[in-house]
Structure 1
C-alpha cells in the first residue's frame, strides 16, 4: 500500500511526478470537516500500514491546525485526532517532535503545538 492506495481508497487526487508533499498539496476542498471524518475513519481501519497511518495523521494534524487557527477549538473532530495521536504515539514520534517545536516559544509555534506538547509530556511520564 502507498499514498496512491490511500488516494484511491478515499477518492483523493494522487499527485504527479512533481508532488513532494502530498499531504500539504491537497486542495482545500479535501480539508473540510466532512473529509476529516473520512480520514479519521480510514485511520481507525486496520487496513493501513504504519506508513499510510503516518501520512493520514500528518494530514489530519495539518487540517486541525487550520481549524484551530479559525477558532474551532471545541470541535469534537480535533479531540478525536488528538486522541488517535496520543493512543498511537509510538508510530508518530517524529510527528509529535515536529509539532511540539521544543526549542521555540509558543508565540512562534503552530496553533496545535500546545496540545501536542501536552501529549508529548504525557508520553514522557509513562
Structure 2
C-alpha cells in the first residue's frame, strides 16, 4: 500500500455514516460536511461507532475526522472526557495508514505559533511525531 491513504471524504462514506450512525445529511449549501456534523456531545457515541459498527476504510477515515473535530470542540468547551484521548490515540495508531492525512492536518507541523493552531493540535503532534 504505497501512498494510497484516503485524502478526502467521499459521497459514499458520507451516505454510509448518515445511515449507520444517524448523522444529518448535507443540505444544498453544505461544505465540509464532516466538520458541520461534528458534535462535542457525541464524542463517546462516535468512538463507540468506530469500534463497534462495521465500517469501510473510507467511512473510518470520515468518522475519525468527525471524532477529532468533535474532540477539538470538547477541549474548547472544557467538556472533554479523560478517556477520549487514549481511545483516539489507540485508533489513530492502530489505523495510521487510514488516518495519515488526518493526523498531519490536525498536527499543523509547519505552524510554529501555537496561538494559530487547533486546541487538539498538541495532542495530534504527539501522535505525528511517533511516525517521524
Of residues 96, 100, 125 in structure 2, which corresponds to 1:117?
125
Backbone CA RMSD of aligned residues: 2.0
> Alignment partner of 1:54: what SS?
helix
Distance 1:42 1:119, change over 3 A: same
Of residues 77, 102, 107 in structure 2, which corresponds to 1:100?
107
The aligned length equals 120
Worse-superposed segment, 101-110 or 76-85: 76-85
Deviations 1:78-123 (A, max 9, x none): 3312221122111111011101111112232111111111111112
User: Aligned equivalents of 1:75 and 1:91: distance in 2?
Assistant: 24
Worse-superposed segment, 112-121 or 1-10: 1-10
CA contact (8 A) 2:40 2:74 kept: no
Distance 1:5 1:97, change over 3 A: same
Deviating 4+ runs (over 2 angstroms): 16-20, 70-75
User: Aligned equivalents of 2:103 and 2:53: distance in 1?
Assistant: 22
Show structure 1 runs of 5+ residues with no match: none
Show structure 2 runs of 5+ residues with no match: 1-11
User: Aligned equivalents of 2:36 and 2:81: distance in 1?
Assistant: 26
Tell me which of the two structures has the higher relative contact order, counting C-alpha pairs closer than 8 angstroms and 6 or more residues apart.
Answer: 2
Q: How high is the TM-score relative to the length of structure 1? A: 0.82
* Aligned match of 1:61: 68
